[in-house]
């Protein structure tokens, strides 16, 4: 969907006019090809081969810089704080990340891990984190079809992790990154920092069983995805507004769920909110799979229109 030329304008028109000859939107030109990534031969590269440019972000575990590898390849470089993970443990996890490739992952290209600070080198997503992108564009022309498409892209990447039995554990808008043409990819998976000082998780995105019992699974990721859907439709609003994290989990465990968002540039459709509620079912095994979520959002408008016709016929 996001690779169709003129997607944002055309899709909004064809949804209301019905023009499209059976397609979700009218094709106005050939689908542009996304540039292929440069494949590094070795996971470990010399630190001297990477030039740091401007700082583009920071977090609990380190800072992120735009950079260049061998003065030719644009990359992002995350510089980890000293002590958040041992070099040995990091390298094992980095190898795992390097082996898992998917079109909807921010690709790990290489590392500099022989000495600290450890550098993680990934493809550069030119528009930064999804959270910042949503907030910057809150008053601009992002329409519901783009929000739905982003939800489908994220679920696509997570569906692959689902098949590989890999748990993300930190799925939220700040862990998703935006490239060109509203192309979004899942980042920050695969490396969990587990030294005593840094065992942290984002409480407002965390499923009850993960918060209370430390039972993280792909189903706890589904819970987090439901919160991410809230971030998408509200253009980066903080979840559970007005409720402090210290009080939140006991209330959620007792049945509290966020109500349907009523403020924001885009009204939240009922079917969209219904999926959020399905992601927040208390019993983890009753939550939808990412394969289902990908299919649902990838065919969202056809599915919603069909459901509407069935409801009106009844």
Residues with catalytic roles: 170
DSSP tally for the chain: helices H, then strands E: 10, 7
DSSP helix/strand/coil, 115: coil
Give burial (CB, 10 Å; 0-12/13-18/19+) of 130: buried
Distance CA 251, CA 110 (A): 43
Contact 202, 245 (CB under 8 A): no
DSSP helix/strand/coil, 92: helix
Distance CA 162, CA 295 (A): 14
Distance CA 174, CA 178 (A): 10
Distance CA 99, CA 180 (A): 25
DSSP letter string over 154-207? HHHHHHHHHHTT---S--SGGGEEE-GGG-EEE-S-S----SGGG----GGG--
Residues 6+ apart with CB under 8 A from 151: 229, 232, 293, 297, 300
Distance CA 25, CA 38 (A): 32
Q: Which residues pair with 63 in a beta bridge?
A: 58, 79
């Amino acid at each position: 969907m996001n690779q169709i030329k003129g997607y944002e304008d055309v899709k909004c028109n064809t949804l209301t006019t019905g023009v499209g000859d059976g397609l979700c939107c009218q094709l106005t030109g050939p689908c542009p090809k996304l540039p292929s990534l440069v494949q590094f031969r070795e996971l470990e590269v010399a630190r001297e081969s990477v030039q740091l440019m401007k700082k583009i972000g920071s977090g609990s575990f380190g800072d992120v810089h735009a950079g260049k590898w061998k003065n030719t390849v644009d990359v992002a470089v995350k510089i980890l704080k000293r002590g958040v993970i041992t070099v040995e443990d990091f390298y094992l996890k980095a190898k795992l990340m390097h082996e898992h490739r998917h079109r909807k992952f921010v690709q790990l290209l290489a590392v500099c891990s022989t000495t600290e600070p450890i550098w993680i080198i990934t493809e550069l997503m030119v528009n930064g984190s999804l959270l910042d992108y949503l907030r910057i564009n809150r008053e601009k022309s992002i329409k519901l079809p783009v929000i739905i498409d982003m939800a489908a892209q994220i679920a696509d990447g997570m569906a692959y992790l689902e098949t590989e039995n890999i748990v993300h554990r930190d799925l939220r808008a700040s862990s998703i990154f935006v490239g060109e043409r509203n192309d979004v990819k899942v980042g920050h998976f695969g490396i969990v920092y587990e030294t005593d000082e840094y065992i942290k998780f984002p409480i407002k995105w965390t499923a009850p069983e993960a918060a209370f019992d430390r039972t993280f699974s792909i189903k706890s990721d589904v819970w987090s995805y439901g919160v991410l859907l809230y971030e998408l439709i509200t253009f980066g609003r903080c979840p559970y507004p007005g409720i402090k994290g210290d009080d939140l989990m006991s209330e959620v465990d007792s049945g509290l769920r966020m109500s349907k968002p009523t403020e924001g540039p885009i009204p939240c459709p009922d079917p969209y909110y219904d999926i959020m509620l399905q992601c927040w079912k208390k019993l983890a095994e009753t939550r939808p799979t990412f394969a289902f979520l990908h299919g649902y959002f990838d065919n969202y408008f056809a599915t919603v229109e069909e459901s509407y016709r069935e409801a009106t016929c009844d």
